[in-house]
Amino acid sequence: MTSPHPPKVAGINPPVPAPAHTSAPAVPTPPTAPEASSPASGTLFQDRLAGWVSDLTTLHELTERLSRTADLDAALRELLRAGASLVGAGRGLVTLHPDSGTGHPVTVGLGLGHADIGHIETIPPAPAPRTHGPYRVPDDAGPHSSPYVRLLDDLPPEGDRSGRIHPDIPGEDDLDPRYREVAARLGYAASYALPLESAAGPPSGPEADAPPGAGRVGAAVWLYDEPAEPSERQRHLAGLYCGYAAEHLARLIELTGARDAVAVLREELLPSRLPHIPGIRLAVRHRTGPRGGGNWFDALPLPEGALGLAIGGITDSGPGAVAATGRLRASLRAYAVMEGEDPVAVLSDLELLLRLTEPARTATALFAYCEPPGTLPGEGRGRKVVVAGAGHCSPLIVGPGRVEYVETSLSAPLGMLACWEAPSVEIEPEPGETLLFYSDGLLHRTGDSMDRAFARLRSAAATVPRSARRDPEAIADHVLRTVLPEPEGGDPADPAEDVVLLVAHFE
């Protein structure tokens, strides 16, 4: 007589074996009918059911924590911490393959310092190249690629997520002597490695038969201080968790690649270096939000030794805003070369172009024309600066005798009116004075109201040390450090906002 099937429980599909601490001793013979229906059998089933529920709850909590990570570094560290708790290890290492989409190996350790990871990188690959799915140990694998190659070289082929156990590294004769030497130096005696294999991640190999968007993105290994190995239940839970983690990492890798592409494009659309103009020293600081905002700046030499300074922002963020920013900046450069001595005309032309070519966008802009030296009556080195603004924050002039905002005329942003025009203002900075141009993101990132943010910026400029007042680089660093101190949580009040600070010091 066979034992009856345990009763079905709605909503419970036991995905893992029964926990070791609830399993009953092996029974050599099938139970009889009276024994099968005994209270002990019901208690055993209840214990197993409680173990399954506990495992599912643990997996749910760990995957929830992982899903809240928004960047690769945080996700890899969370993966290591969760995996260590599941398999009962104290230390670990996770690495991504260069072909995963990151462009280069990314390695993160748990309980391992940089020197420890460096020792692991000296472990040589296998003596002969072997192929596992899309992976092949290269013949010329160097020390920089060896940690990832070594992990993968010891893993089963793609499609098999069972991992690899080394329960007693000092006692295994077939291991490379360097492997045992590094293990002894770092003080671990056993390891358990798992592949990170995604069904929807980026391609990880050159094989044409690999499904698009599938493959291994990396591997993780956990280290034990004493000879040990995880139980069957622990291995099953870790495999389920790593399967979810691989999908999450694949999405983050794709997102990171897109962000990197936008960042490269954005940097290429901004000035690669500032011009050298006699009598004016420049410095700039540019911090971009994670989505790639539309703030921009420019500093371009103009005919007869003049200088044009511009700063602005466009609505929206992301690749579309970055591309629109590049078009807007290129257009302003052309107008500045043709009629830069009249900033109002420059912004008027820019507004017309924006209205015709980007009807769904608005933009703020400020353009300053710094006349060539020697144009002020009776002065050999004087300069006059003509400024016009369209909805942008007024520049701040800083000197030994004054720290004040330039009174530019209040006007609407570009693209909001049928015909934009506002009067310009003229200022005459003295030798030793500095003009600060900045984006509104600098104010927003403070987390204060606009009035308090303006006051904070003015106070930061006024407290520049006397020894740094003639160095635009030092001025920029002091202002940013004072206006945006590092918060306790490590994140600014609004990290999505771009920050641009352009400093022009007149000698």
Q: Among 261, 282, 317, which residue terminates a domain? A: 261
* 343: three-class secondary structure by DSSP: helix
At residue 487, the pLDDT reads 54
Q: Cα dihedral sign for 442, 448, 454, 459?
A: negative
200 plus 292 within the same structural domain: no
What CA–CA distances, in Å, run from 279 to 342, 428, 471?
21, 14, 13
Give the span between the Cα atoms of 90 and 85, in whole angstroms: 8
Q: Cα dihedral sign for 260, 263, 269, 275?
A: negative
250 plus 277 within the same structural domain: no
255 plus 278 within the same structural domain: no
In a domain, 51, yes or no: no
255 plus 296 within the same structural domain: no
- Chain centroid to Cα 437, Å, comes to 27
Q: Among 236, 261, 286, which residue terminates a domain? A: 261
Query: Kind and range of the H or E element at 197?
Result: strand 190-198
Q: DSSP states of 457-496 as a string?
A: HHHHHHT--GGGTT-HHHHHHHHHHHHSPPPTTSS-S-TT
392 plus 249 within the same structural domain: no
In a domain, 29, yes or no: no
At residue 294, the pLDDT reads 76
185 plus 327 within the same structural domain: no
* pLDDT per residue rounded down to tens, the chain (507 residues): 444 444 443 333 444 444 444 333 343 444 444 544 566 777 877 777 887 888 889 899 999 999 999 888 899 999 999 999 999 999 999 988 766 555 556 888 999 988 888 888 777 765 544 443 333 333 333 333 445 556 666 777 777 777 889 999 888 888 878 888 888 999 999 999 998 988 754 444 444 344 434 577 888 999 999 999 999 999 999 999 999 999 999 888 888 877 777 777 767 777 878 999 989 999 999 887 655 567 889 999 999 889 999 999 887 777 777 788 888 899 999 999 999 999 999 999 999 998 888 888 889 999 999 998 765 555 545 689 999 999 999 999 999 889 999 988 778 898 887 777 788 999 999 999 999 999 988 998 888 999 999 999 999 999 999 999 999 999 999 999 999 876 544 444 455 678 899 999 998
Question: 346 and 335 in contact (C-beta within 8 Å)?
Answer: yes
Two tokens, residue 40: 């002990």
310 plus 392 within the same structural domain: yes
Q: Among 261, 283, 312, which residue terminates a domain? A: 261
429 plus 375 within the same structural domain: yes
199 plus 290 within the same structural domain: no
Give the span between the Cα atoms of 217 and 202, in whole angstroms: 8
Q: Among all chains, which residue has been given the structure tokens 């010091």?
A: 505
366 plus 488 within the same structural domain: yes
In a domain, 315, yes or no: yes
| Among the listed residues 392, 427, 397, 395, the one whose alpha carbon sits nearest the alpha carbon of residue 410 | 392
Domain that holds residue 200: 69-261
In a domain, 33, yes or no: no
Two tokens, residue 323: 């591309």
Q: DSSP states of 9-71 as a string?
A: -TT----SPPPGGGPPPP-SSPPPHHHHTSHHHHHHHHHHHHHHHHHHHHHHHHHHHHHT--S
Q: Among all chains, which residue has been given the structure tokens 């192929």?
A: 131
Q: Quick one: 67 exposed, middle or buried, by C-beta within 10 A (0-12, 13-18, 19+)?
A: middle
Q: DSSP states of 225-287 as a string?
A: SSS----HHHHHHHHHHHHHHHHHHHHHHHHHHHHHHHHHHHHHHS-SS---BTTEEEEEEEE
Count how many domains the chain has: 2
293 plus 437 within the same structural domain: yes
At residue 151, the pLDDT reads 62
Q: Quick one: 57 exposed, middle or buried, by C-beta within 10 A (0-12, 13-18, 19+)?
A: exposed
In a domain, 198, yes or no: yes
301 plus 425 within the same structural domain: yes
CA angle 349, 351, 357 (to 5 degrees): 100
* Backbone torsions φ then ψ of 219, nearest 5 degrees: -155, 155
In a domain, 255, yes or no: yes
Full-model pTM: 0.59
CATH number at residue 169: 3.30.450.40
Q: Quick one: 431 exposed, middle or buried, by C-beta within 10 A (0-12, 13-18, 19+)?
A: middle
In a domain, 23, yes or no: no
Identity at 242, one-letter amino acid code: C
In a domain, 466, yes or no: yes
At residue 98, the pLDDT reads 62
Q: What share of the chain is helix, strand, coil (3-state, %, to 5)?
A: 40, 20, 40
User: Which runs of consecutive H residues, i.e. helices, occur in 68-139?
Assistant: 72-87, 114-121
Give the span between the Cα atoms of 394 and 368, in whole angstroms: 11
At residue 289, the pLDDT reads 67
Q: How many CA atoms lie within 13 A of 201 on its CB side?
A: 27
Give the span between the Cα atoms of 431 and 48, in whole angstroms: 82
Question: 158 and 215 in contact (C-beta within 8 Å)?
Answer: yes
